[in-house]
Structure 1
Amino acid sequence: MPQVAFLECSRCCLHHDATTPQTVCTACAGSLYVRYDLSAATGTAVRDRIGTTEQDHRWSGMGRYRDVLPAVDPVTLGEGWTPMLPSRRNGNVWLKEEGANPTGTFKARGLALAVTMARHYGLKKLAAPTAGNAGGALAAYAAAAGMEAHIFMPKDTPMANQVECRAYGAHLTLVDGLISDCGRMVAERSPKEGWFDVSTLKEPYRVEGKKTMGYELVEQLGWEYPDAVFYPTGGGVGMIGMWKAFLEMEELGWVSGRRPKMIAVQAAGCAPVVRAFQQGQAASQMWQDAHTAASGLRVPKPYGDYIILDIVRQSGGTAVALSDDTIFASLKDWASHEGLLLSPEGAAATAAYDHLIRTGFLSPDETVVLFNTGTGNKYTDVIGARV
């Protein structure tokens, strides 16, 4: 397993010490990337060993990529290595089922690494704003690590998210507002309360957990890139993590060829990245009156918007916003024809695929991966009101 060499600012490239806890760049407040010495993992011989060891057979989760993750004792609940399911109607469409993770969502990956490193650094109290699912994941992993979790979420977040936080023993504050309001409260209270803020892209290790989605989808496709990846984009950490994974795999010689078009998917009622993309802006503006039943997409200004927009443009991808009616129609379609109960965020990705096929941006013979970021079972109150 590699040692972390340093942390690097995603904006100004300033290096930061990785031996102590860090939040964002001290010079420009940019998000930090974890950089390793990966020389020992170079070559396909190392790649082809993945999944063959006794440890891999016992636990085939994120630990199978320990050659590209921090060399510390993990806090794990068995996250990662989620199914890649072929569509029953189009053999070129694959659904990455992140609902199979602990706590039922992809958030388990990022929070597993964030909590792992927090424990490694000796931290005791963690805090975060959340649109819902990150709160449940933080609560679970903090409980597993014997740490305090202080979670702030909008009061209209799906009930399952609220229940799981309380069940795991987290300190939950419901806020009459959006995740941006929750974030402000965490930032204001953390210094005096002694909390370490693990907000999206305000600590470097959630990206490391999320990048394993990129390693997995490439491995599950036979170490080849798909033509496009559809990603429901609230905070966008998963897209950022996957792009980092693609760069690392190319450096290691584990994959070659053209990287996939990255498709950022948002809801029409909260689409700051889509608007910025369409207007040619380098960063988004705060979205006013944000509203959508896909609560994970209700992020009025992602902290890493400048990174997301750069990735979409570099990849030749695009950004798409769908109405809630369109999203829930796709959710019902996939449930009744594919046997999969998607989260509303995942249904935004399936709806976006149909949209880009109709518009001709993609053709049906291109291989695509659609991310269902969580199980629909966590949204039964929301889905029940729609279908």
Structure 2
Amino acid sequence: MPKIAYLESVRSHNRISADTPQTLDPATAESLYVRYDMEEMKKTAKRENPAKYAAESAKSLGMWRYKDVLPDVTPVTLGEGWTPMVQSKRHAGLFIKEEGNNPTGSFKARGLAMAVTMAKHYGLQHLAVPSAGNAAGALAAYAAAAGIAAHLYMPQDVPFANYLEGVIYGADVHMIDGLISDCARLVGEEIKRQKEAGTPANEVWFDISTLKEPFRIEGKKTMGYELVEQLGWKYPDAVFYPTGGGVGLIGMWKAFDEMEELGWVERGSKRPKMYALQASGCSPIVKAYDGGKDVSEFFQHAATFAAGLRVPKPYGDAIILDIVRVSGGSAIASTDEEILASILDYAKHEGLFLSPEGAAATAAYERLLASGELTPEETVVLFNTGAGLKYTDMTAEAMKLRRPGTLPTAMPVGGIITPV
């Protein structure tokens, strides 16, 4: 496993030591990327032979199969990564990356596994996160596995599963009457209060927010390595990614940089078009993209049942917009009605229970097929970022579905009536 050479701010390219835990570039408040000695890595990092793909997948180590391109640390792992790519039954070129197969039921397991691994490596004792739901659940699980205290701040109307996860894993759970932006403000205020009160340094909470520490990107970048390996070390034509905070999209683009430098993909290969998908009720990236702006504005009155997309202003908005434009992709919003219709469509015709965020991507994909911007033969990897079952209450409410008032007291099983 490679040693970290330094941390680098995204735009200013300032170099910062990784010997101690870092949040943002102290000079510019920019997000930080983890950088390695690529020349040394070229000597040691090996990709699997595509011909051995089937055999290797059977003994996968999850995302840690990419240890050659991850920090040299002992993992805190629950088996995250190496999720299946399910080929659509109706569209020959569509592959759905089923991130609901991760521990805690969402792609957030990747980023939090890496972030908590590094937190344990640094000896941190308290981790705090503002979350739209799934990141909080993932932090709670991995912090429990690592023996670290987790402090979760979530909007009070997140899917009930997210609240239950926090409680079950023994985290300190705060439900807030507001949005994820309000949660972030409260986390920041509490950390400031602790420092001003003279709380011992090892007891001050460490903010593990999206893009406010460098290692969640490292966990999420494994999605890029995975999808390329699962396609025989070739890029797809397009990647469709539900975008709230956008760390996964940013991480995959970093993975493409690294793979090209390592020679793991054919030099000169055309990168996929990157599509950022949002809900109309909270679409700051789409609004900025359509308006030709380099950064987004705070999206007022954000409201959508796709809880993970309810991020009024992503911290990495400028990075996301740049990636989308450079790749030749786009940013597309779908209404809650379109998202629900896509959930029902893919459940009935594909056997997949999508999360609302994943259905924002399938809804956009179907729209681009209908318009002719995409063809069914083009290879598209579309991320279902979470298990639909984690959103049972939210999806049922959107369907106006209620539990039947009277349940049977005896159920037929294999032709035999069970006892009453």
1:41 Cα offset (Å)? 4.0
Residue of structure 2 in register with 1:83 after alignment: 84
1:113 corresponds in structure 2 to 114
- How many pairs align? 386
Aligned to 1:297: 309
Question: What is the alpha-carbon distance in structure 2 between the residues aligned to residue 38 and residue 364 of structure 1?
Answer: 38
Unmatched 5+ residue regions in structure 1?
Answer: none
Question: Is structure 2 residue 335 aligned with structure 1 residue 335?
Answer: no
The one-letter code sitting in structure 2 at the alignment partner of 1:90 is H
Cα distance in structure 2, aligned partners of 1:56 and 1:340 = 22
The question of whether the paired residues in 1 share the 8 Å contact of 2:100 and 2:107 is answered with: yes
Equivalent residues of 1:207, 1:237 under 8 A apart: yes
Q: Is the 8 A contact 1:2 1:70 kept in 2?
A: yes
Distance of aligned partners of 1:92 and 1:28 in 2 relative to their CA distance in 1, 3 Å threshold: same
Q: CA deviation at 1:385?
A: 1.8
Partner of 2:209: 199
Instruction: Check the 8 A contact 1:282/1:306 in 2, yes or no.
Output: yes
1:320 aligned onto 2:314: no
Aligned to 1:239: 249
Q: Distance in 1 between matches of 2:226 and 2:349?
A: 26
Cα-Cα RMSD: 1.7
Measured against aligned partners, the alpha-carbon deviations of 1:335-378 in whole angstroms (never above 9, x if no partner) come to: 00111101000011100101112223222221101100000010
Question: Residues of 2 paired with 1:124 and 1:267: CA distance?
Answer: 36
- What is the distance in 2 between the residues matched to 1:36 and 1:83? 29
1:8 corresponds to which residue?
8
**Aligned residue number for residue 22 of structure 1:** 22
What is the TM-score of this pair, normalised by structure 2? Answer: 0.89
- Which residue matches 1:102? 103
What is the distance in 2 between the residues matched to 1:44 and 1:166? 42
Give the deviation of 1:220 after TM superposition: 0.2
Q: Which moved more, 1:302-311 or 1:364-373?
A: 364-373
Q: Tell me the residue number matched to 1:311.
A: 323
Task: Give the deviation of 1:223 after TM superposition.
Answer: 0.4
Report the CA distance shift for 1:359/1:86 in structure 2 as closer, same or farther (over 3 A).
same
- Aligned partners of 1:56, 1:16: CA distance in 2, in Å? 36
Match of 1:151 in 2: 152
Letter paired with 2:261: E
Deviations 1:110-132 (A, max 9, x none): 00000000010010000000000
Q: Which moved more, 1:354-363 or 1:146-155?
A: 354-363
How far apart in 2 are the matches of 1:185 and 1:356? 40
Tell whether the 8 Å contact from 2:45 to 2:69 is kept in structure 1 after alignment: no
Q: Distance in 2 between matches of 1:26 and 1:163?
A: 36
Aligned: 1:268 with 2:280: yes
Query: Counterpart of 2:390?
Result: 378
Unmatched 5+ stretches in structure 2: 195-203, 400-420
One-letter amino acid of the counterpart of residue 9, structure 1? S
Counterparts of 1:118 and 1:75, CA distance in 2:
10
Superimposed CA distance per residue, residues 24-77 of structure 1 (whole angstroms, 9 cap, x where no aligned partner): 11111110000011334438982126989x998655201110000000001000
Change (3 A) 1:44 1:293: same
Matching residue of 1:278: 290
Return closer, same or farther for 1:65/1:188 CA change in 2, 3 Å cut-off: same
- Distance in 2, matches of 1:307 and 1:15, equals 18
Alpha-carbon separation, structure 2, partners of 1:55 and 1:246 = 21
Aligned partner of residue 48 in structure 1, secondary structure: coil
Contact 2:114 2:216 in 1 (8 A): yes
Checking the alignment, whether the CA contact within 8 Å between 2:305 and 2:398 is kept in structure 1 is no
CA distance in 2, matches of 1:48, 1:264: 29
Higher alpha-carbon Rg: 2
Q: Tell me whether 1:220 sits opposite 2:221 in the alignment.
A: no
Per-residue CA deviations over 1:235-283 (Å, capped at 9, x if unaligned) read 0000000000001000000013100000000000000000101111110
Q: Among residues 363, 369, 378, which one is paired with 2:381 in the alignment?
A: 369
TM-score, L = length of structure 1: 0.97
CA contact (8 A) 2:112 2:216 kept: yes
Partner of 1:126, secondary structure, is strand
